[in-house]
Amino acid sequence: MKRKWSLIGIAILLVGCDYAITENSTPLVRKGGDLGRETPASVTVMTWNVYVGANVDNVIAAPSPVDIPFLVAEAFETLLATNFEERAEAFAKEIENARPHLVGLQEISTIRIQSPSDLVLGGSVLPEDVLFDYLEILMGALAARGLDYRVAAVVQDTDVELPMFTGTGPLPFDDIRLTDFDVILTRGDVAISNVAARNFAAKLTVPIGEGQSFDILRGFTAIDATIGDRTYRFVNTHLEPAVLAVREAQAAELIQEVEDVAHPVILVGDLNTPAPDGITYITFLDASFVDAWDHRRRRKGKGRRETGNTANHANDLRNETVTLEKRIDFILVRNLDDRGRGGGRGGRAALRSVFATVLGDELDDRTPSGLWPSDHAGVVARMVIPKRGKGRRKG
């Protein structure tokens, strides 16, 4: 596809942009509540949208395409100020506290640069010099804490290039390239198989003029994860925020993907649909998924008052009050019996002994310099998914 930087610049805005752990009992105590104790029957999972570090919505309002490189420069300064290296330490700390078996991460980014730009001159060379590899940074932070976590599955979603005004040199522009990934991490004692990493067929297509278009790719990762004598199908995704029809189509693809899976299915991610009334949220409930948050055991004190809200903190991550107003990040479970029945809307047959909490939602969760870990809060749950028969996998 012939690159048109002035229009592709608008398209990116829609992206949203070995220490083995073998103990049988791992407590997590957090302010106002805990996850109980890990037992041979329990599984602990976490989901978190880690945030690229800048919101480029201002580019949408660009009076003219010639303004885009200047607005990209502003967004890049915010990205530097939100310091993923520092934020990665906050994520690693929460993972160390909770010791989840399975972690679903969204908006894991790689940022690359080319200096000077060839894009503004009509060139076609993609930037390859890596400025920030978020996955590498996070894995380094985990390793530094002696934690054995492995990259189990990665899907590459949208990959976009933009020009950025630098104000220096004969050609005062660089090219910045953002590549977006969704990632599953597993604890070292989890056996994995049947790995899948795919983009959705349903996607947002943005016209860019002269009969051309640009696709906003999103996708999912999935694994079979064996923990003790139980195997779960663990799925991680980040659904389209901007257009309901696209998001619903992506949800339908996921539901179809796991239709014949016999194992319990644990679906996590930023689903961009609010509980309890979001249309896509209800679509998953109607497909026999149960929301783990709604079945958590409530503790006295703060734990009883938790809303579960996960979005959003300020773009610069420096808000001094909690600004989370909606719950769009979920841990959903589908646990069918041998007749293909779920647990019903009550979900009691499908899920029990759920302890869950939100991460990155209290002032004490901020980094030493005052950054929230992400513009989203994360969610972690320890739960027991009871055996209900062999399900209905075909073949």
Structural domain total, the chain: 1
Residue 91 lies in a domain: yes
Q: Is pLDDT of 2 > 80?
A: no
Residue 69 lies in a domain: yes
* Residue 314 belongs to domain with CATH number: 3.60.10.10
Q: Do 236 and 104 contact (CB within 8 A), yes or no?
A: yes
End-to-end alpha-carbon separation of the chain, Å?
Answer: 41
pLDDT at 64: 65
Alpha-helix residue ranges (DSSP H) falling in the chain: 5-11, 57-60, 68-81, 84-98, 134-144, 244-257, 279-286, 302-305
**Diameter over CA atoms, the chain:** 70
pLDDT at 340: 73
Residue 393 lies in a domain: no
**240: containing domain:** 5-16+25-384
pLDDT at 306: 83
Q: Which of 273-287, 325-339, 346-360 has the lowest mean pLDDT?
A: 346-360
The per-type count for the chain, helices as H runs and strands as E runs, is 8, 17
**Dihedral sign computed on CA atoms, order 128, 133, 135, 139:** positive
Residues 6+ apart with CB under 8 A from 12: 56, 59, 158, 160, 162, 178
Please indicate whether residue 103 or residue 55 has the higher confidence score (pLDDT).
103
What residue type is assigned to position 378 of the chain? G
Residue 106 lies in a domain: yes
Residue 229 lies in a domain: yes
Q: Which of 70-74, 183-187, 243-247, 318-322 has the lowest mean pLDDT?
A: 70-74
CA-based nearest residue to 330, from 363, 282, 388: 282
Please indicate whether residue 32 or residue 271 has the higher confidence score (pLDDT).
271
Residue 359 lies in a domain: yes
pLDDT at 288: 94
Residue 329 lies in a domain: yes
**109 beta partners:** 180
Residues 6+ apart with CB under 8 A from 338: 388, 389, 390, 391, 392
Residue 395 lies in a domain: no
- Taking the C-alpha atoms of residue 226 and residue 191, their distance in angstroms, rounded to an integer, is 5
CA-based nearest residue to 291, from 235, 344, 221, 362: 344
Q: Which of 5-19, 102-116, 186-200, 221-235 has the lowest mean pLDDT?
A: 5-19
Q: Stretch 254-261: mean pLDDT, rounded?
A: 96
Question: If pLDDT is split at 50, 70 and 90, which confidence band does 18 have?
Answer: very low
